[in-house]
């Protein structure tokens, strides 16, 4: 630790997390003003009464006052606000499929079999994403083209009696009503996939390739240059699929010659799109001389425009040839079922390929404690992709059911494949409700037993040793948060397993053309209600989010988590904000570091902690040594241990975090609360209390991993173990001259804790004031038997 010089100042650059925040709350001020940015990525500072940028509160270090500038980076405008961003939630199945790519197990460098398995996994993921696009577009066509135009508006039908018969019989009216909404939906998908956040040229070096083991966290978050080609292929496949529906589907050769010509052209376009997606591999993650090289040359901008134009012309031509339009479309049933079956087969095949890939990648985390290893042994991509497929199919079926109810056409038939879907979701809802009762009962009995036994977590006792009256409020919050962090992935896996098991049964019965027994009829009704309610709730959330900013931030949780990832497996997803935030944070930090007396501390809360860790990694790869020593990181309420390394081991691995700790040394600090369900420990694990001292294993300042010295107690009451600062919650205050918030804080208001200023000084490489900085022994409570904390 250094003593501050006369020219030393500290810039504290804060980054918020999910749900967004107001600029004033981010910089802890009454008012705030923009000082940089482009209006989408905003850099704000506290403002005085004349709305001029004002300095932050003075930081005390080494007994001297140090000027501090508090800045905040606002990125919530990239995920919420307005109709367009609110509607992004409707693409959640696509976002899940894209996120599954980033959950692939990391490829050990130099392992040829692992490289081939990675290539196969990426190709299968991209093909599954293509089929998901085709499935959702086909289900939209089932609603507008089959249910509404062909059946409901057929001459002589009682559906929608306000529509006169002369309009129903007018040539091209019904095909136009059926095809125009689908073309509009495809246009919306195209517009969304073209959105990309602009970033100023950054001096940072190019990050490393995706799906390859990285040395520092997040350095393989890169934009895929294949995205424009993938986008065009997805849209061409969707247009070709829509063109096949009016002429009987892909498995039926039409009788009329003109329909046969359209059928053949649509199949050719569809086959070209599928083959191109399979052969087009990511150039940054595979060998550039592979077959995808000539595909990138062939799929240039003009080729893509020609293919899209052919697809649109094909759909228009098919619609113009439909006179008279039949009262029902025979191709929708087989097309929907074939796409669903192919998608299920791809999920199964990907799951099989991932088994050896995960076993090979296992060597990268061998020796780590069980609580730090990747979820499902690195096999998490398969269940996430399965969830995306099931959710996409369920939303499509729910949309058709909801529209049929809205137009009062309950007697109109839907594709027979929708019956197993309703049974699946109905049975899953019943099973979930049935399982919830014993789980809640067990949790209540377990919690009562723990309270009665008077054996709470020993770390809670140690934190609140100076004020035991806070234990009744702190202990239940610790248990709830611990349970959520430890078992969230188990809940996701269990839900996916139930849905997959139901899918297997439904598929087997459908293949054997077995009608469901009478006792399952109520389950189908429950499924109809569940799917209808799901679609209605999602549309209502989108509507409220577009009208009310607060509701938009709530819905933005989905976007914040899903839109973090660059477009890889699926190109039709909202733009990735990480590709803009990370380089802009690095550029802002580099700008401040031009002043040799300035030290910059990147402080990230929740999801923002992942962004600042990636930004720090890029800075460490580009700055010279004197500048590197003036960069620090504070992670607050961070999921950087229990979530990201376990879900995305190829992006934010445990070893990359250890390398980051070795690069930053004591200039990386983490504020932790055991009551926070989102943010737990970051740099320590296997904590235990022995003889009134908190011990544990974690990252050492020299970059090694091993046992740490016993925790010391800071002046604000926090227990400092290694680089983790465990805060008592409820806080121990009030502290004279400082803001204080009573009650259990959980995931909120970390900046109000008296430990905040101390960790900023430590992360800046300065010696904070207080006896704990000098290494005085901790305040010990009554000794108890040691007990491991997870």
b (16+ CB within 10 A) / e for 41-58: bbbbbbbeeeeeebebee
Q: 3-state class of 303 per DSSP?
A: helix
| 51 φψ region: left (φ > 0), alpha (ψ -120 to 50), beta (else) | left
Identify the weakest region by mean pLDDT among 10-14, 456-460, 729-733, 784-788: 784-788
Question: Per the structure block, which two tokens stand in for 626?
Answer: 């004197």
Q: How sure is the predictor about 1, in pLDDT bands with cuts at 50, 70 and 90?
A: low
Q: What does the mean pLDDT of the chain come to?
A: 84
pLDDT in tens, 515-539: 777 766 677 777 777 777 777 777 7
Question: What pLDDT does residue 609 have?
Answer: 96
DSSP designation for 47: B
DSSP designation for 704: -
pLDDT in tens, 563-604: 899 999 999 998 999 999 999 999 999 999 999 999 999 999
Question: What pLDDT does residue 784 have?
Answer: 35
Contact 70, 44 (CB under 8 A): no
Question: What pLDDT does residue 333 have?
Answer: 85
Q: 3-state class of 492 per DSSP?
A: helix
Question: Per the structure block, which two tokens stand in for 110?
Answer: 């130099």
Concatenated DSSP letters of 624-658: -HHHHTTEEEEEES--TTTTHHHH-TTTS-HHHHH
Question: What pLDDT does residue 591 have?
Answer: 94
Q: How sure is the predictor about 331, in pLDDT bands with cuts at 50, 70 and 90?
A: confident
Nearest C-alpha neighbor of 149 from the set 334, 394, 311, 323: 323
pLDDT in tens, 359-368: 999 888 888 8
Is a pLDDT exceeding 90 seen at residue 556?
no
Question: What pLDDT does residue 70 have?
Answer: 97
pLDDT in tens, 632-669: 999 999 999 999 999 999 999 999 999 999 999 999 99
Question: What pLDDT does residue 479 have?
Answer: 87
- CA 246 – CA 263 distance, rounded (Å): 9
Question: What pLDDT does residue 549 have?
Answer: 52
- CA 652 – CA 17 distance, rounded (Å): 17
- CA 336 – CA 417 distance, rounded (Å): 7
Question: What pLDDT does residue 569 have?
Answer: 92
Contact 28, 70 (CB under 8 A): yes
Nearest C-alpha neighbor of 643 from the set 518, 405, 481, 425: 481
Q: How sure is the predictor about 787, in pLDDT bands with cuts at 50, 70 and 90?
A: very low
pLDDT: which is higher, 437 or 214: 437
Query: For 92, what's the count of Cα atoms within 13 Å in the CB-facing half-sphere?
Result: 24
Work out the angle between the directed axes of helices 112-141 and 92-101 (0-180°, nearest 10). Answer: 170
| Cβ neighbour number for residue 567 with a 10 Å cutoff | 24
To 10 degrees, the CA torsion angle through 568, 569, 572, 577? -40
Question: What pLDDT does residue 169 have?
Answer: 84
Q: How sure is the predictor about 124, in pLDDT bands with cuts at 50, 70 and 90?
A: very high
Highest mean pLDDT among 69-83, 249-263, 407-421: 249-263
Question: What pLDDT does residue 522 have?
Answer: 76
Is a pLDDT exceeding 90 seen at residue 553?
no
Question: What pLDDT does residue 644 have?
Answer: 93
DSSP designation for 456: -
- CA 392 – CA 98 distance, rounded (Å): 13
Is a pLDDT exceeding 80 seen at residue 424?
no
Describe the strand order of the beta sheet including 712-713 as a list of residue ranges. 32-37, 42-46, 68-74, 9-15, 598-605, 631-636, 668-672, 724-726, 719-721, 712-713
| Mean pLDDT score, 381-398 | 89
Question: What pLDDT does residue 212 have?
Answer: 56
- CA 638 – CA 610 distance, rounded (Å): 8
Is a pLDDT exceeding 60 seen at residue 767?
yes
Q: How sure is the predictor about 772, in pLDDT bands with cuts at 50, 70 and 90?
A: very low
Is a pLDDT exceeding 90 seen at residue 34?
yes
Is a pLDDT exceeding 90 seen at residue 426?
no
Strand pairing class (68-74; 9-15): parallel
Question: What pLDDT does residue 546 have?
Answer: 59
- How far are the Cα atoms of 44, 586, 624, 629, 766 from residue 597, in angstroms, in the given order? 22, 18, 15, 12, 12
pLDDT in tens, 270-300: 999 999 998 886 555 444 445 566 777 788 8
| Mean pLDDT score, 342-357 | 94
Q: 3-state class of 686 per DSSP?
A: strand
Q: Please tell me the total number of residues recorded for the chain in this structure.
A: 790
pLDDT in tens, 45-60: 999 988 999 998 999 8
Q: Which residue has the tokens 């129903």?
A: 168
Nearest C-alpha neighbor of 325 from the set 175, 167, 157: 175
Q: Give the E-state strand segments of 19-89 in sequence order.
A: 32-37, 42-46, 59-61, 64-66, 68-74
Contact 399, 533 (CB under 8 A): no
Question: What pLDDT does residue 596 have?
Answer: 92
pLDDT in tens, 456-486: 478 898 898 888 888 889 988 998 898 888 8
| Cβ neighbour number for residue 156 with a 10 Å cutoff | 8
Question: What pLDDT does residue 18 have?
Answer: 80
Is a pLDDT exceeding 70 seen at residue 3?
no
Q: 3-state class of 694 per DSSP?
A: strand
Question: What pLDDT does residue 442 have?
Answer: 66
Question: What pLDDT does residue 789 have?
Answer: 41
- How far are the Cα atoms of 172, 404, 412, 758 from residue 408, in angstroms, in the given order? 24, 6, 9, 65
Question: What pLDDT does residue 282 have?
Answer: 58
Q: 3-state class of 97 per DSSP?
A: helix
Q: How sure is the predictor about 347, in pLDDT bands with cuts at 50, 70 and 90?
A: very high
Question: What pLDDT does residue 351 have?
Answer: 94
The residues pairing with 698 across neighbouring beta strands, listed in sequence order, are 684, 706
Strand pairing class (668-672; 724-726): parallel
pLDDT: which is higher, 48 or 214: 48
pLDDT in tens, 298-330: 888 999 999 999 999 999 999 999 878 888 888
- CA 223 – CA 197 distance, rounded (Å): 11
């Amino acid at each position: 630790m250094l003593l501050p010089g006369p020219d030393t100042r500290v810039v504290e650059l804060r980054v918020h997390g999910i749900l967004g925040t107001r600029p004033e709350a981010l910089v802890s001020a009454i008012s705030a003003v923009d000082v940089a940015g482009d209006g989408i990525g905003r850099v704000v500072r506290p403002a005085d009464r004349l709305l001029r940028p004002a300095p932050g509160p003075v930081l005390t270090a080494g007994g001297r006052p140090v000027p501090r500038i508090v800045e905040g980076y606002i990125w919530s405008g990239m995920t919420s606000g307005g109709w367009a961003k609110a509607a992004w939630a409707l693409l959640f199945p696509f976002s899940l499929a894209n996120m599954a790519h980033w959950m692939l197990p990391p490829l050990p460098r130099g392992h040829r079999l692992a490289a081939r398995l990675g290539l196969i996994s990426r190709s299968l993921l991209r093909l599954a994403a293509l089929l998901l696009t085709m499935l959702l577009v086909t289900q939209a066509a089932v609603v507008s083209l089959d249910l509404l135009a062909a059946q409901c508006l057929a001459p002589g039908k009682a559906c929608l009696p306000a529509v006169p018969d002369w309009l129903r019989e007018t040539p091209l009216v019904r095909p136009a009503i059926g095809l125009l909404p689908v073309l509009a939906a495809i246009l919306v998908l195209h517009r969304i996939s073209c959105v990309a956040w602009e970033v100023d040229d950054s001096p940072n070096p190019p990050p490393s390739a995706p799906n390859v083991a990285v040395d520092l966290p997040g350095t393989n978050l890169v934009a895929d240059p294949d995205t424009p080609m993938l986008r065009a292929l997805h849209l061409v496949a969707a247009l070709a699929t829509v063109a096949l529906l009016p002429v009987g589907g892909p498995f039926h050769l039409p009788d009329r010659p003109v329909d046969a010509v359209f059928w053949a052209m649509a199949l050719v376009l569809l086959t070209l799109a599928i083959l191109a997606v399979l052969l087009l591999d990511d150039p940054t993650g595979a060998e550039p001389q592979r077959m995808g090289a000539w595909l990138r040359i062939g799929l240039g901008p003009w080729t893509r425009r020609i293919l899209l134009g052919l697809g649109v012309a094909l759909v228009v031509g098919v619609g113009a040839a439909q006179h008279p339009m039949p009262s029902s479309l025979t191709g929708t049933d087989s097309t929907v079922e074939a796409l669903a079956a192919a998608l299920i087969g791809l999920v199964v095949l990907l799951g099989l390929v991932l088994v050896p890939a995960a076993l090979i990648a296992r060597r990268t985390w061998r020796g780590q404690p069980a609580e730090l290893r990747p979820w499902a042994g690195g096999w998490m991509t398969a269940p996430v992709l399965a969830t995306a497929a099931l959710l996409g199919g369920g939303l499509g079926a729910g949309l058709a059911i909801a529209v049929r109810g809205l137009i009062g056409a309950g007697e109109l038939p839907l594709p027979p494949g929708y019956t197993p879907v309703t049974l699946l979701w109905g049975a899953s809802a019943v099973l979930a409700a049935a399982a919830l009762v014993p789980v809640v009962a067990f949790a209540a009995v377990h919690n009562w037993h723990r309270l009665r036994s008077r054996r709470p977590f020993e770390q809670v006792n140690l934190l609140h040793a100076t004020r035991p009256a806070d234990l009744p409020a702190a202990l239940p919050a610790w248990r709830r948060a611990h349970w959520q962090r430890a078992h969230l992935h188990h809940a996701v896996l269990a839900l996916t397993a139930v849905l997959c098991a139901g899918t297997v049964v439904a598929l087997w019965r459908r293949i054997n053309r077995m009608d469901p027994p009478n006792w399952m009829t109520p389950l189908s009704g429950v499924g109809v209600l569940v799917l209808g309610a799901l679609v209605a709730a999602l549309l209502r959330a989108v509507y409220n989010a577009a009208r009310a900013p607060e509701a938009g931030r709530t819905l933005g949780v989905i976007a914040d988590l899903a839109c973090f990832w660059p477009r890889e497996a699926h190109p039709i997803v909202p733009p990735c904000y990480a590709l803009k935030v990370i380089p802009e944070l690095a550029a802002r930090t580099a700008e401040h570091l031009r002043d040799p007396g300035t030290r910059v501390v990147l402080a990230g809360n929740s999801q923002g902690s992942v962004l600042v860790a990636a930004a720090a990694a890029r800075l460490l790869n580009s700055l010279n040594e004197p500048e590197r020593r003036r960069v620090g990181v504070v992670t607050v309420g961070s999921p950087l241990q229990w979530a990201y390394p376990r879900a995305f081991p190829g992006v934010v691995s445990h070893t990359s975090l250890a390398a980051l700790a070795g690069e930053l040394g004591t200039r990386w600090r983490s504020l932790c609360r055991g009551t926070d369900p989102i943010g737990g420990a970051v740099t320590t694990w296997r904590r235990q209390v022995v003889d009134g001292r908190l011990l544990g294993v974690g990252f050492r300042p020299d970059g090694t991993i091993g046992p740490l010295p016993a925790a010391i107690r800071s002046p604000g009451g926090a227990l400092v173990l290694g680089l983790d600062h465990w805060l008592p919650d409820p806080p121990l205050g009030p502290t004279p001259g400082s803001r204080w918030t009573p009650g259990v804080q959980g995931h909120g208001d970390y900046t109000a804790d008296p430990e905040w200023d101390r960790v900023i000084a430590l992360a800046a490489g300065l010696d904070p004031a207080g006896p704990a900085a000098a290494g005085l022994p901790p305040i010990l409570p009554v000794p108890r038997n040691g007990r491991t904390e997870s």
